[in-house]
Structure 1
Amino acid sequence: MSAPRARVVRRPVHGVLLLDKPLGLSSNNALQKAKWLLRAEKAGHTGTLDPLATGVLPLCFGAATKFSQLQLDADKTYEAVAVLGLRTRTGDAEGEVVERRPVGDITLERLEAVRRAFTGPIRQVPPMHSALKKDGKALYEYARAGEDVERAPRDVVIHELHIEPGAVSDEGQPTLRIRARVSKGTYIRTLGEDIGAALGCGAHLSALRRVATGHFEVGQCVTLEALEALPEAERAERLLPAESLLPGHERVTLADEDAGRFLAGMRRRGGWPDLPAVAVFASAPSTLLGTAHVRAGELIPGRLLSPIEIQQIRTQKP
């Protein structure tokens, strides 16, 4: 009989871990693994990546979870490989092939025309194999049951798009290398399928990697293997502070008395110009208190940290 697994003693952990999610692992499983390695009490991720996708997955711990929505709304940048001439049931390599078509001559001129057609505001029909819900049920649940339900098109924006010929696939098919910076809610699998349809041959994605989300880039990320290899005492050093989620916020620092009243939800008056997004800090020691906006000289509280969280963050700092 194997020995019982030791119970992990959780602790308050605050900050952002930039994870390079591995292939084959769901976003939630990656989150739970990182949460276990850090022995964190509270954690959440900032938007899912498919198990067959890799790359930037910001994980928020403790107080940082209060600002995770900002990363959900951020633009994302992806690199993908599209296999031409083969459509699959899921739009990626996981699904069975449902159609084979000849590819024909894919010239640079044709690729440029397709690139222009898919750059800017476009409409997408969400794929059946997605977590989007209809009548309280995820679309992939209908798909697994063999049902195809009607989906309303969604407006998204492809801010930047690069398409170029790639290497021949394992199936002997021509491929395209795609790099796209897109708005939230964009399905890259659908983009790959739509590009294939525009070329008249169909396509599916064989690889997908998120290389940036907002201002976070993959070069800043750590893998689960590297995190696990660190001594436990050093793992928390890979965390960025919660304020790293607030790059577009103006910084306002409050003295002790005003800081306490701000944390109680009270507006403060000062000589600030109108500002839509403010990160508010205590002065000594410098610690994030929360977010706010300024209107007519008043600092109006938004999402606030609790006094307990602030004390824990000050204790956590090296």
Structure 2
Amino acid sequence: MLGFLNLHKPTGMTSHDCVGKVRRICGLKRVGHGGTLDPLATGVLPIALGPATRLLPYLPEQKAYQATIRFGLTTTTDDLAGDILSEQSANHLAQEVVEKALPQFLGSIEQRPPAYSAIQVQGQRLYDLARQGKNVTAPLRRVEVFDIQILDWQGGEKSELEVAIACGPGTYIRSIARDLGEVLGTGATLAQLTRTLSCGFALADSLTFETLAEQVQAGTFSPLEPSFSLQQPILHLPPAEAQRFCWGQKLPQDCADGMMQVHDTSNRFLGMGEIIDGLLKPKVVLPAQ
């Protein structure tokens, strides 16, 4: 089996748990995922099946989320999974005030990842250090936030803001929630998160574990084609050159430099190649299907 699965991750499972469950349902050993989701988060978790795991680095990087931010509350994890650090009333907050604060989180910004995150510091994951009681400040990282749209506002003691966020890789929505609360002086934490887009896969097209299991049992499950979400230009090779590409040989090509999807003349996807100075170098060669 070779291809991708657009999985609708349920709450309460780690991304690693999801990979293990897909292995059991599909009867595969080689399974990987793109873009980790926190256990409390739901939504799109791209899953690569078989040799398609080698294509994960070439999928689109942009992501989109639907998030609920709760004001008047801060936690150790910057979401509801952590211990409460502080509580106060956010009854005075108005949507207009919150809306005026959002533009500072747009564009190329420096962001401090949550203390409980998979970022490595001195060879250890931050969440491991945090669980050991070590107070380590996560290094700032530059991330890209393309758009933030307000979807709903509910005022009250613990006012809540629902937003849609489009961003680049490495962006922590938990950090946006935490930092927005700091700017507004009430504190805030992430109350809910659904990923609606990742690696070119959309939530509307995702499969639950239940649907996946039913399709596998019925013999109707068909992985998405390996090139389904790839955005690189397509290069078609005639039979002789296609064979040489599959052997891992470099090929002269009169094309602009860059990463390419490589297909044969029957449009069979062969893998990924990179053209440098007129020479096509195989980067990923897939087994014949």
Is the deviation greater in 102-111 or in 144-153? 102-111
Cα gap change, 1:200/1:304 in structure 2, threshold over 3 Å: closer, same or farther?
same
Please tell me whether the aligned partners of residues 273 and 295 of structure 1 are also in contact (alpha carbons under 8 angstroms): no
Change in CA separation of 1:224 and 1:275 when aligned onto 2, cut-off 3 Å: same
* Other-structure match for 1:160: 147
In the other structure, the counterpart of 2:27 is 39
Q: Distance in 2 between matches of 1:36 and 1:28?
A: 13
Identity of aligned residues (%): 30
Unaligned runs of 5+ in 1: 1-12
1:250 aligned to which of 203, 217, 233: 233
Partners in 1 of 2:211 and 2:246 — Cα distance? Answer: 37
* Deviation for aligned residue 1:269: 3.2
Q: CA offsets per residue over residues 211-239 of structure 1, 9 Å max, x none?
A: 001421101100001112235253532x1
- For residue 164 of structure 1, report the CA deviation from its aligned partner: 5.2
CA spacing shift, 1:230–1:291, aligned 2, 3 Å: closer
Matches within 5 A, 1:188-203: 188-203=173-188
Per-residue deviation, 1:277: 2.1
State whether structure 2 residue 271 is matched by structure 1 residue 290.
yes
2:273, 2:52 → 1: CA distance?
Answer: 15
Runs of 4+ displaced beyond 6 Å: none
| Mapped contact 2:272–2:283 kept (Cα < 8 A) | yes
Native 8 Å contact 2:250 2:282 kept in 1: yes
Q: Take 2:10 and 2:145, find their aligned partners in 1: how far apart are those partners?
A: 25
Match of 2:18 in 1: 30
Q: How does 1:1-318 map to 2 (within 5 A)?
A: 13-71=1-59, 74-163=61-150, 165-167=152-154, 173-234=158-219, 236-237=221-222, 239-246=223-230, 248-270=231-253, 272-284=254-266, 286-305=267-286, 309-310=287-288, 314=289
Counterpart Cα distance in 1 of 2:116 and 2:279: 47
Asked if the contact 1:227–1:235 (Cα under 8 Å) also holds between the matched residues in 2, the reply is: no
| Residue 134 (structure 1) shift | 1.6
8 A contact 1:70–1:245 mirrored in 2:
no
Assess if the C-alpha contact under 8 Å between 1:111 and 1:163 holds in 2: no
Q: Is the 8 A contact 2:22 2:31 kept in 1?
A: no
Structure 1 position 168, deviation (Å): 6.0
Q: CA deviation at 1:104?
A: 4.7
TM-aligned CA distance change 1:85 to 1:92, over 3 Å: same
Question: Are residues 19 and 133 of structure 1, via their aligned partners in 2, closer, same or farther at CA, if it must alter by over 3 Å?
Answer: same
Uncovered stretches (5+) of structure 2, i.e. residues with no partner: none
Query: 1:76–1:182: 8 Å Cα contact kept in structure 2?
Result: yes
- Cα distance in 2 for partners of 1:303, 1:31 equals 22
CA distance in 2, matches of 1:276, 1:191: 34
How many residue pairs end up in the alignment?
Answer: 289
Distance 1:107-1:167 versus aligned 2 partners, 3 A rule: closer
Alignment CA distance shift 1:117-1:299 (3 Å): same
Give the TM-score of the pair, scaled to structure 2.
0.93
Secondary structure in structure 2 of the residue aligned to 1:19: strand
Contact 1:38 1:235 (C-alpha < 8 Å) held by counterparts: no
Cα distance in structure 1, aligned partners of 2:124 and 2:115: 12
**Residue number in structure 2 paired with 1:8:** none
TM-score for the superposition, normalised by structure 1: 0.85
